[in-house]
Structure 1
């Protein structure tokens, strides 16, 4: 069992509410999404592990058990080419759950016409393996879902 923590504060809204079919239809994997508070924040690691992919707008942390969790900061934010994001860690870094990875401003993303909603996905997980999904308000570091 892996407890995946909220990488940012906001409202847990579920993947179905994400305005992107790749996430809303769980094509990448099961999980949930957070509608962030509209203030500059540091997105944190959702689990203990190693950062295997790190882009300004998204990152993947893989735990010692081989399970990877994707955090995607906003929708279509790859188009920003890193503008408005600041890396606080590097690919290959070992991180603890709750350790800051990327600083960004959801309000600035939204002001630019993009959704700041953040999918948090259990990569390559089978349907039904994610449970106890948080609903409503969450703080960074709160349990977000259980991956069995």
Structure 2
């Protein structure tokens, strides 16, 4: 069976998708997954899986692995309105990346100062909840630690 380990893009506290203050994520409309409330220090958002960056915005990205699993990382809520402030992409769409590789420099404190939540959603796109296992929804996590497994 093909299994993908999905890693946390940031360090902080796992809070689960239901804690994301956006109904699209909280109700798993985009797909199942979890979320991380990041530490409020400048840092890097990491690749959740090894694969190819198929979508890249300053505040979000999608990486598709070799099994065709697409993982969305959304850095904060309503952060598109910041027009890139507080974010600096380090890769380009189409780039091959390795799980744990820095993809975006960002500052959660800038997001928060802009009146937005810095909570990061990590979503298994086009997946059913039943295909995820070992989903981390509470407790401290480091960037690069496993958040869930996708079968």
- Class of the TM-score when normalised by the shorter of the 2 chains: over 0.9
Return the match for 1:147 from 140, 145, 150. 150
| Local SS of the residue matching 2:85 | coil
Match of 1:96 in 2: 98
Return the match for 2:8 from 6, 15, 32. 6
Q: TM-score, normalised by structure 2?
A: 0.96
Q: TM-score, normalised by structure 1?
A: 0.98
Alignment gaps of 5+ in structure 2: none
Deviations 1:64-122 (A, max 9, x none): 11110000000000011111110111100000000000000001111111000000000
C-alpha contact 2:82 2:114 (8 A) present in aligned 1: no
Alignment gaps of 5+ in structure 1: none
Q: How many Å separate the matches in 2 of 1:13 and 1:127?
A: 17
RMSD of the TM alignment (CA)?
A: 0.6
Count, aligned residues: 148
